[in-house]
Amino acid sequence: MIEYKKGYKYQLCRSYTLDGVQVGQKSIKTPYIVLTQTGKLTIRSGYAWDGASGIAPDLKTNMRGSLIHDVLCQLIRQGYLKKSVYDKTCDIFIKVCREDGMGRIMAKLHSIGVRTGIAKRIATGKPKKVYTAP
Please tell me the predicted confidence (pLDDT) of residue 55: 80
Question: Are 90 and 109 a contacting pair, CB within 8 Å?
Answer: no
Phi, psi of 89 (to 5 degrees): -65, -35
* pLDDT tens, position by position, 26-61: 999 999 999 999 999 999 999 999 898 878 889 999
* pLDDT tens, position by position, 49-93: 989 887 888 999 999 999 999 999 999 989 999 989 999 999 999
Q: List strand residue ranges (DSSP E) for 60-102, in order.
A: none
Q: What contacts 105, CB < 8 A, 6 or more positions away?
A: none
> So where are the chain's domains?
2-47+59-133
- In angstroms, the first-to-last Cα distance of the chain is 6
Please tell me the predicted confidence (pLDDT) of residue 123: 65
Phi, psi of 34 (to 5 degrees): -130, 125
Amino acid at 27: S
- 38 in helix, strand or coil? coil
- Tell me the whole-structure pTM to 2 decimals: 0.88
* CA 59 to each of CA 12, 28, 62, 66, 129: distance values in angstroms, whole numbers, following the listed order: 16, 29, 5, 10, 27
